[in-house]
Amino acid sequence: MRGRGNGGGGEGEGAPATVVTPSAEFPPLDRAELGALRSIGEQWQVPSDGPPPAPNRLPLDPTLERTRAEPAPGRFGRLAPIAMFRAGEPGELVATEPANAPSTRAGQALFRCRRALFGPPLTSAAVFYERMRKLVALPVLSSDLLSSVAYGPEAMLAVLVLAGSTALGLSLPLAAVLAVLMVAVGLSYRQTVVAYPHGAGSYVVARENLGVRPGLLAAAGLMVDYVLTVAVSVAAGVHAVTSALPGLARYTVPLGLLTIAVLLAGNLRGVRAAGNLFVWPTYAFVFALLAVLLVGYLRAGARGFEPVPPPAVPAAEGLGLLLVLRAFASGAVSMTGIEAVSNAVPVFRPPEWRNARTTLSWMIGMLVALFVGLTVLIHLNGLVPTPENTLLSQLARATFPTGPWYALVQAATALILLLAANTAFNGFPRLLFFMARAGHAPRRFLHMGDRLAFSNGLVALAVTAGAAFLAFRGRTEGLIPLYAVGVFLAFTLSQAGMVVHWRRRRSRGWRRRAAINLLGAVLSGVVLVTAAITKFTEGAFLVVVAVPLLVLTSLAIHRHYRRLHRSLALHAPPDGRRPAPPAAVAPLPGAAEPGAPAEAQELPQQVQHLVVVPVARLNRASLRALAYAASLRQPTLAVHIAPEDPEADRFREQWEAWGDHVRLETIVSPYRTAIGPLAHYLEALRISRPDVLLTVVVPEVVVRRPWHRLLHSRAEHRLRRALRALPGVVVTSLPVHLAD
């Protein structure tokens, strides 16, 4: 069941499945392919044309004669290309940093901009894994989870208030139920930490225990989760700012998009090294909230814990079970981020699993305390959600009517939300990396950019999150209904996978462990179904549609890579197939019986050449193409396409004046097209001898300015496109650079 479609071998051979390496793009060959490679190599024969085996003697020094004194000046950049390489081990050159610069002028300008923005490139050797103490790990890993209390209680109350202000009292029992859910899911994840000491997210757990499709389902849920984490956190963060500074409210959308862009830029630059900087927003947020709770409860105690009656809000909907369930599902978004620790076990100091588990317990405890404490305090103060001012902002204002404390609470809230959005920028590209390694996502997500960041994944996340933010005009309450479905889908599959895990192992106490995970899975599943149904029309349908589409896309990608892998996998050539001719003669026409079809030729002695040179008119470009073709000393055919007979005759006269050195075939195209008849003629040639490999030599005029391209028919380009579909037709473009 393990994915094998990554084009070159199984994943995770040797390296643990959760380790990220820059070589992942180059998977090693497996044993069978290595054997095939050997046997292909043994049959390899080059028909050499004289005493010295010419192909192995090179006309120049490929090691670039690194001892040479004076490197010649180059045309790209200030450094000569020869100086861009230094000698490595024997037979090895090492590219220096300037060698990464692109060669076109526009590309170089872009390259310089990017470097100024994101810093100089980092070598592969700079990959490092920082181990974290609990006191550092706790804030870094919990920012996503704890920041959710900034919008979770509000999301719940915003639903309840639809049934009028009297329904707000239901928030207390709902908070109790959610607290139970948090503890249950938390206990469940504690076990994942123990079972996967190398760390494992929902995708890995579900794939390993439930199979590929559930794994992809979990991955799709996670992808949606990451995108919405960015969108919701940024929306809530901007809302925290605009609650304090209402003048900024009309810039919500540009502010949010700017924030996402800054997060993207920071992550492209690679901000992991700044880990310790990330510690204080979480602590600041927690202390700020604790201060709010402390002062708030003191004030409430001073009036005997008598709830302030909320302002009368008319009921927009009846108070039914559906509404209560909707409120419950909205409140459950406070649990997003609970899985962070289980992904990141290896970053803890040893014993990793124990430290991770302790951290997780602390996080759950804080979450329950903050969530319940805030919900009750909001109730006691009789606060009601309003679009302009977040509940947390109202609460902070009620608690600290004067002094700088209110502003500090809002600032800490905005900062932790920013940090929470940033965790998605860590998780999303890693998820895509693992999916890509298994062949379920485009392989470009395997590539580490020059700052050792998965640039493609980062950009993909920023673009989709920005689109979601823009689509909902940055309204947190619009995004919340989409949020719960993806999160709890991943939770459910992850916990269900753990149940299977324990059942398979049957280690000591497995029944108890399985029971805990089963409880977690069932509770998560209930929330998932509740959220999907009650929020369907409010936007959850988008996720309900997107998740299966993502899974189908992943499967289609996997199918394509599997087919690619099958097409490109090495097989030993069957012994009977076209034994290599012992004599070193070029195969003669007529004498050779049809051999392997052109695209199956993997040994030099199998390749049967015909070089075709399309010639529109005789000039230096076409003569160079003819000379190039003839110098290959393979059978050569020139083809001229004429729009009418007189032109064809005139051309043939010129051809004879030249000396008729190459066999010429003329095609009269009375409809004045050139590319179509030429492509069809080449196909006709190919059909008449499928074992002959056609090499089409086309001169390509290279212009220096982009607008000059408009002045050329770009026949080379069009011919290449027309010939692409034809198997066994090789296109060789001979550049012609214009003299000034």
Closest separation in Å from C-beta 16 to a second copy = 16
Closest separation in Å from C-beta 249 to a second copy = 39
Q: What angle do CA 313, 319, 320 make, to 5 degrees?
A: 160
Is 301 a residue that touches a second copy (CB under 8 A)?
no
Pick between residue 100 and residue 276 the one whose CB is nearest to a second copy.
100
DSSP H or E stretch at residue 557? helix 540-568
Contact 18, 199 (CB under 8 A): yes
Contact 696, 729 (CB under 8 A): yes
Pick between residue 44 and residue 305 the one whose CB is nearest to a second copy.
44
Closest separation in Å from C-beta 94 to a second copy = 5
Using CB under 8 A, count the residues that bind a second copy.
190
SS3 state of residue 1 = coil
Q: Candidates 19, 99, 319, 542: give the one binding a second copy (CB under 8 A).
A: 99
Helices (H), 121-201: 134-147, 152-160, 171-195
Is 677 a residue that touches a second copy (CB under 8 A)?
yes
Closest separation in Å from C-beta 32 to a second copy = 13
**How far from 525 is each of 206, 517, 567, 691, CA to CA, in Å?**
14, 12, 41, 59
Is 693 a residue that touches a second copy (CB under 8 A)?
yes
Region near a second copy per CB under 8 A, out of 130-138, 193-201, 258-266, 709-717: 709-717
Is 722 a residue that touches a second copy (CB under 8 A)?
yes
Alpha-carbon span 540 to 527, nearest angstrom? 13
Q: Candidates 16, 31, 56, 506: give the one binding a second copy (CB under 8 A).
A: 56
Q: At 640, give phi and psi (nearest 5°).
A: -115, 135
Is 276 a residue that touches a second copy (CB under 8 A)?
no
Closest separation in Å from C-beta 464 to a second copy = 15
Closest separation in Å from C-beta 350 to a second copy = 26
Is 52 a residue that touches a second copy (CB under 8 A)?
yes
Query: Sign of dihedral through CA atoms 44, 50, 54, 57?
Result: positive
Q: Candidates 184, 347, 392, 675: give the one binding a second copy (CB under 8 A).
A: 675
3-state SS, 654-710, equals HHHHHCCCCEEEEEECCCCCCHHHHHHHHHHHHHHCCCEEEEEEEEEEECCCHHHHH
Is 63 a residue that touches a second copy (CB under 8 A)?
yes
SS3 state of residue 174 = helix
Closest separation in Å from C-beta 579 to a second copy = 16
Region near a second copy per CB under 8 A, out of 160-168, 340-348, 381-389, 667-675: 667-675
Pick between residue 276 and residue 654 the one whose CB is nearest to a second copy.
654
Region near a second copy per CB under 8 A, out of 241-249, 394-402, 462-470, 717-725: 717-725
- Beta-bridged to residue 555, according to DSSP, are none
Region near a second copy per CB under 8 A, out of 146-154, 415-423, 436-444, 509-517: 436-444
Is 631 a residue that touches a second copy (CB under 8 A)?
yes
Alpha-carbon span 491 to 591, nearest angstrom? 69
The token pair that represents 269 in the structure block? 């630059």
Region near a second copy per CB under 8 A, out of 84-92, 194-202, 272-280, 509-517: 84-92
Q: What angle do CA 379, 382, 386 make, to 5 degrees?
A: 105
Binding mask 477-496 for a second copy (x = CB under 8 A): --------------------
Which of 120, 13, 227 is closest to 452 using CA atoms?
Answer: 120
Query: Per CB under 8 A, which of residues 9..28 are in contact with a second copy?
Result: 22-23, 25-28
Is 80 a residue that touches a second copy (CB under 8 A)?
yes
Is 662 a residue that touches a second copy (CB under 8 A)?
yes
Binding mask 445-484 for a second copy (x = CB under 8 A): --xxxx----------------------------------
Contact 424, 230 (CB under 8 A): yes
Pick between residue 138 and residue 557 the one whose CB is nearest to a second copy.
557
DSSP H or E stretch at residue 81? none
**DSSP conformation class of 51:** S
Alpha-carbon span 214 to 210, nearest angstrom? 6
Q: Candidates 1, 110, 515, 711: give the one binding a second copy (CB under 8 A).
A: 711
Is 82 a residue that touches a second copy (CB under 8 A)?
yes
Contact 334, 149 (CB under 8 A): yes
Q: Candidates 2, 47, 399, 613: give the one binding a second copy (CB under 8 A).
A: 47
Pick between residue 95 and residue 109 the one whose CB is nearest to a second copy.
95
Q: For the purposes of burial, counting CB atoms within 10 Å of the CB of 703, is it exposed (0-12), middle (13-18) or buried (19 or more)?
A: middle
- Would you tell me how many other CB atoms lie within 10 Å of the CB of residue 599? 12
Q: Candidates 32, 103, 350, 354: give the one binding a second copy (CB under 8 A).
A: 103
Query: Per CB under 8 A, which of residues 568..627 are in contact with a second copy?
Result: 568-571, 585-590, 592, 599, 601-610, 616-621, 623-624, 627
Q: Candidates 8, 197, 307, 382: give the one binding a second copy (CB under 8 A).
A: 8
Query: Per CB under 8 A, which of residues 532..561 are in contact with a second copy?
Result: 557, 560-561
- Beta-bridged to residue 693, according to DSSP, are 609
- CA 407, distance to chain mean position in Å, is 38
Alpha-carbon span 516 to 498, nearest angstrom? 10
Half-sphere exposure of 604 (CA within 13 A, CB side): 12
Pick between residue 172 and residue 584 the one whose CB is nearest to a second copy.
584
Closest separation in Å from C-beta 107 to a second copy = 8
Region near a second copy per CB under 8 A, out of 193-201, 203-211, 400-408, 703-711: 703-711
Which of 133, 136, 181, 138 is closest to 156 using CA atoms?
Answer: 181
Query: Per CB under 8 A, which of residues 370..429 are in contact with a second copy?
Result: none
Contact 550, 220 (CB under 8 A): yes
Closest separation in Å from C-beta 583 to a second copy = 11
Contact 7, 29 (CB under 8 A): no
Query: Sign of dihedral through CA atoms 656, 658, 660, 663?
Result: negative
Query: Per CB under 8 A, which of residues 119..138 are in contact with a second copy?
Result: 121-125
